């Protein structure tokens, strides 16, 4: 069973298994992508992270959030719970993956007092005022079948030899026209991801670092998303990561979003 962190570490899914990265042909980009997205094998994933949002003027705000992920009948389910500050505390977000289809997403905002479903048309909208969009959050479990992939070059990044892979969405309605990823040739670890809009302009850069071994899984503890035109960024700094801890099924329901309690 493959379990991946969506948020606060939304791109851990791209960490590839070393064995796959070493044996797959450099030209077989889809095989490399598939291997990377099935890297973390766990029944569940539980995390706590500190989110640091940096504005154009250099000012920062911080948030603390928990995330729980578990596989389900149609795919992975993930709940995000904001703990502080008071302005966002109690906000809860649920993503449920649908095999072969678009993900279902709901959010509970304490100020509204009810659960609201996120429409597909809102995919490019900012998630809770961060540099992540709703599509960015779901992309951690994005099926390789939704894109076409090719190795465009081999190059070093910070002294590490990488495959550079371009992924182009098959769906013309997706907010990004293409994604370029730097995967370590030996370990398959994703170091960098570039996202281009429908006009083929680079709009976001995502960088991963501070990799540590957690229960035998190589896990990045810092992910930074930068929005180039806005001059803003959001860093996710992991404080706790646990794999295979029991998570009740009731957590992955809209009832839990509304109350924060199990029924």
Query: Does 18 map to a domain?
Result: yes
Query: Does 186 map to a domain?
Result: yes
Task: Please say whether the beta carbons of 211 and 220 come within 8 A.
Answer: yes
Give the domain range for residue 137: 12-259
Query: Does 114 map to a domain?
Result: yes
Task: Please say whether the beta carbons of 157 and 169 come within 8 A.
Answer: no
pTM for the predicted model, two decimal places? 0.83
Task: Please say whether the beta carbons of 208 and 189 come within 8 A.
Answer: yes
Query: Does 38 map to a domain?
Result: yes
Query: Does 7 map to a domain?
Result: no
Query: Does 210 map to a domain?
Result: yes
Structure tokens at 133: 């969009």
Query: Does 3 map to a domain?
Result: no
What distance in Å separates the CA atoms of residue 94 and residue 138, rounded to the nearest whole number? Answer: 10
Query: Does 2 map to a domain?
Result: no
pLDDT tens digits in sequence order for the chain, 263 residues long:
554 544 444 333 333 333 344 444 545 898 888 777 777 778 899 999 999 999 999 999 999 999 999 988 777 899 999 999 999 999 999 998 876 667 889 999 999 999 999 887 787 888 888 998 887 876 655 778 889 999 999 999 999 999 999 999 988 888 899 999 998 888 878 889 999 999 999 999 999 999 999 999 889 999 999 999 999 999 999 999 999 999 999 999 999 999 999 87
What does residue 249 show for φ and ψ, rounded to 5 degrees?
A: -60, -35
Domain tally, the chain = 1
Q: What is the CATH number of the domain that holds 93?
A: 2.50.20.10
Structure tokens at 27: 């030209």
């Amino acid at each position: 069973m493959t379990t991946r962190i969506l948020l606060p570490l939304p791109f851990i899914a791209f960490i590839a298994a070393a064995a796959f990265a070493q044996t797959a042909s450099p030209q077989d980009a889809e095989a490399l992508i598939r291997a990377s997205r099935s890297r973390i094998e766990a029944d569940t994933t539980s995390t706590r992270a500190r989110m640091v949002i940096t504005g154009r003027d250099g000012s920062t705000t911080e948030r603390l959030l928990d995330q729980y992920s578990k596989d389900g009948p149609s795919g992975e389910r993930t709940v995000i719970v904001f703990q502080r500050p008071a302005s966002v505390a109690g906000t809860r977000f649920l993503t449920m993956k649908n095999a072969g289809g678009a993900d279902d997403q709901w959010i509970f905002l304490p100020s509204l007092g009810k659960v609201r479903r996120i429409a597909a048309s809102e995919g490019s909208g900012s998630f809770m005022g961060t540099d992540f969009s709703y599509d960015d959050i779901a992309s951690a479990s994005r099926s390789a079948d939704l894109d076409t992939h090719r190795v465009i070059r081999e190059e070093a990044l910070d002294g590490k030899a990488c495959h550079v892979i371009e992924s182009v969405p098959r769906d013309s309605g997706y907010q990004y026209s293409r994604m370029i990823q730097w995967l370590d040739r030996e370990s398959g670890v994703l170091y960098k991801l570039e996202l281009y809009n429908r006009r083929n302009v680079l709009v976001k850069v995502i960088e991963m670092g501070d990799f540590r071994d957690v229960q035998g899984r190589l896990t990045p503890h810092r992910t930074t998303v930068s929005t180039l035109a806005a001059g803003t960024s959001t860093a996710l700094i992991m404080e706790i990561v646990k794999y295979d801890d029991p998570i009740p099924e009731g957590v992955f329901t809209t009832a839990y979003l509304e109350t924060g309690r199990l029924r």
